[in-house]
Structure 1
């Protein structure tokens, strides 16, 4: 997390996974015009200092062999924790976990980590599949006319939004409860993006937050029952984690 002088903070997911790189990590931060932290970070020059603390426990920790298939659904900067998982899985030559990523952005030029993701998919075609979605193409260079002209979409990028049809086509299928003894072992789905997307895919209570009593009276983070589009597709609460 990044902390400012007023002790406000923002969580960020490092995009580097080398745990042996002592004193070094990489962040991917998109600058927003009114972004309190992103604007400060964007103004920093070599030699400037910022305060960080962590690591902060994640709701999901990747473990080789925990499940044969993982579906990843991301929008915007929600790609950063997904990129962590992808790197961790593909870095292990003995790992056989198959990954399916659905990643939505506003336009082709706003797709973060596009080059890295394309290279990973090209190097591991049997383990990583990617569906890039955009709301609109990039505008073509101005030709002096008032009409807006659009560039052709890059290969592998399509117009669309994250909906039930797209997820059914690209995510691992939810297992049949009548045939699978442990549903959570069959596949897992990770979701990260704007709150509106989280609620749409995982249910209206997916961002409730807070804590509740756990075993022995200890407090633990709440994880409300799955709802929304993913429930309609047949996934259970034990198979979905929103980040």
Structure 2
């Protein structure tokens, strides 16, 4: 998803290079939609070590990593608008920082999805942990993480100190983050048997602290979290299964961050989920509901996404990124994600099934009750504060509507306006057409949607064509959307659609 402001553009200047004929963005999209194996691995994902990544460091054999994922960009050199030399700067290394410096707004996951090789190994993105020395003892002897290693490129980040205490019925883990502005939404926990994992996001969501321990004893699957907004003290209360049992130690540390680290460098973590519902939305889009076992407590911020991982029968894994939506659009009751009841914690996803797509075709074959799917912690860079006191102007194409669903509901719930320009190919492709119509009826002064079809039938009375100035002039620029700085514009869809809209 790309977002725009109605004020003047800012950002890093970019130097574009003249491309050869046949090397335009549209030519690249055609190539990615072909059967060509751009990853060079047969589209089978695997873990990549830093040493292996470093070996692919030339124009004829070029891999790079962005946010923990490794891509083979060998085929992309002649298509890169910034020139070959600029792209060469990032090959063989983790190029996340370089990418963010120049064009953080680009939807690289879509543009390079056919180039995906696999994941950068987790232990290459975290400081080494000496597990043999990570024994937890009672009270004040609870070891703090090792002090951060300072470098020119890595700012000094305060160490998170830890402690624990117990009584006859519970154990309390305390983390002193010294991060002001934290709340319970920023604390993610997982209890799986004796394995207890904690992730704490910073106040601006850009960094996180990870802590994982193998507890000395089994606890109940619920965890009570208390956070101090002023000091950043986080208390996590675990209920003992064997009450009155005095623990000699909290457990053995598995992994621990040196402090708050950039989210892009954090080790990926996946939770097991069960497909509990599959509901048809149109001819090729389904609403999937994934439900988590007790002991999984986390939050997906508005505008953020997660990764879904499928394990295949041959032992290989497939991973794709998706943005959760709310299950009941028209009610506009909540933007909570995941949705929670006393009995379950669930995420909902609108996913288009591609018969030739390895991931979606495998997902489509899963029956309700299947538990071979895993869901990562959330990731993204969108801040809900960007929506404060703003009306939303949303432009979407196809399943690009998914990141905008919660943004629209959040805006309406805060008594602001939403204008949606929604592009699809045919009437049968429109997602949640009736639900959006119900929103218009419920909020006649605050919600407006225009549907535009590129391949309509003769009966279609609405707008026709692709994104262009004429359509913009008759819809979102037609006078109902004053350019007074009160609007937040966001665009989401296929790469060619997004780039054409941004022009």
Class of the TM-score when normalised by the shorter of the 2 chains: 0.5 to 0.7
Q: Which residues of structure 1 form unaligned runs of 5+?
A: 139-149, 176-182, 203-227, 229-243
CA distance in 2, matches of 1:39, 1:56: 25
When residues 193 and 12 of structure 1 are mapped into structure 2, their CA distance, relative to the original with a 3 A threshold, is same
CA distance in 1, matches of 2:357, 2:451: 26
2:321 matches 1:11:
yes
2:374 matches 1:51:
yes
Cα distance, 1:7 vs structure 2: 4.6
- Pick from 415, 421, 424: which aligns with 1:96? 415
Instruction: Give the number of the structure whose residues are more often helix, by fraction.
Output: 1
2:454 corresponds to which residue?
135
Question: Residues 219-238 of structure 1: matches in 2 within 5 Å?
Answer: 228=503
1:199 corresponds to which residue?
499
Question: Residues 29-48 of structure 1: matches in 2 within 5 Å?
Answer: 29-48=351-370
Question: Residues 111-122 of structure 1: matches in 2 within 5 Å?
Answer: 111-122=430-441
CA distance in 1, matches of 2:362, 2:492: 24
Kept in 1: contact 2:440–2:447 (CA 8 A): yes
When residues 168 and 137 of structure 1 are mapped into structure 2, their CA distance, relative to the original with a 3 A threshold, is closer
Cα distance, 1:86 vs structure 2: 1.6
For normalisation by structure 1, the TM-score amounts to 0.66
When residues 64 and 115 of structure 1 are mapped into structure 2, their CA distance, relative to the original with a 3 A threshold, is farther
CA distance in 1, matches of 2:346, 2:394: 26
For normalisation by structure 2, the TM-score amounts to 0.33
Question: Residues 71-90 of structure 1: matches in 2 within 5 Å?
Answer: 71-90=393-412
Cα distance, 1:62 vs structure 2: 3.5
Query: Aligned Cα RMSD in Å?
Result: 2.1
CA distance in 2, matches of 1:173, 1:195: 28
When residues 164 and 60 of structure 1 are mapped into structure 2, their CA distance, relative to the original with a 3 A threshold, is farther
The alignment partner of 1:87 has SS state of helix
CA distance in 2, matches of 1:118, 1:79: 15
2:444 matches 1:125:
yes
CA distance in 1, matches of 2:386, 2:415: 8
Task: Name which one, 1 or 2, has greater alpha-carbon Rg.
Answer: 2
CA-to-partner distance for each residue in 1:125-173, whole Å, 9 max, x for gaps?
Answer: 11111110001224xxxxxxxxxxx4x126xx32222212222332234
Kept in 2: contact 1:2–1:52 (CA 8 A): yes
2:458 matches 1:159:
no
CA distance in 2, matches of 1:108, 1:62: 32
Kept in 1: contact 2:394–2:404 (CA 8 A): yes
Higher RCO (C-alpha 8 Å, min separation 6): 1
Q: Which residues of structure 2 form unaligned runs of 5+?
A: 1-306, 327-334
2:282 corresponds to which residue?
none
Cα distance, 1:190 vs structure 2: 0.4
CA distance in 2, matches of 1:163, 1:109: 22
2:177 corresponds to which residue?
none
- Pick from 469, 474, 482: which aligns with 1:169? 474
CA-to-partner distance for each residue in 1:96-135, whole Å, 9 max, x for gaps?
Answer: 2111100000001110111211111110011111110001
Greater Cα shift, 162-171 or 111-120: 162-171
Cα distance, 1:85 vs structure 2: 1.2
The alignment partner of 1:86 has SS state of helix
Kept in 2: contact 1:67–1:188 (CA 8 A): no
CA-to-partner distance for each residue in 1:52-84, whole Å, 9 max, x for gaps?
Answer: 112222x43334962432110000100111111
What number of residue pairs does the alignment pair up? 176
1:232 corresponds to which residue?
none
CA-to-partner distance for each residue in 1:159-212, whole Å, 9 max, x for gaps?
Answer: 22221222233223444xxxxxxx4xx21110000100111122xxxxxxxxxx
Kept in 2: contact 1:103–1:131 (CA 8 A): yes
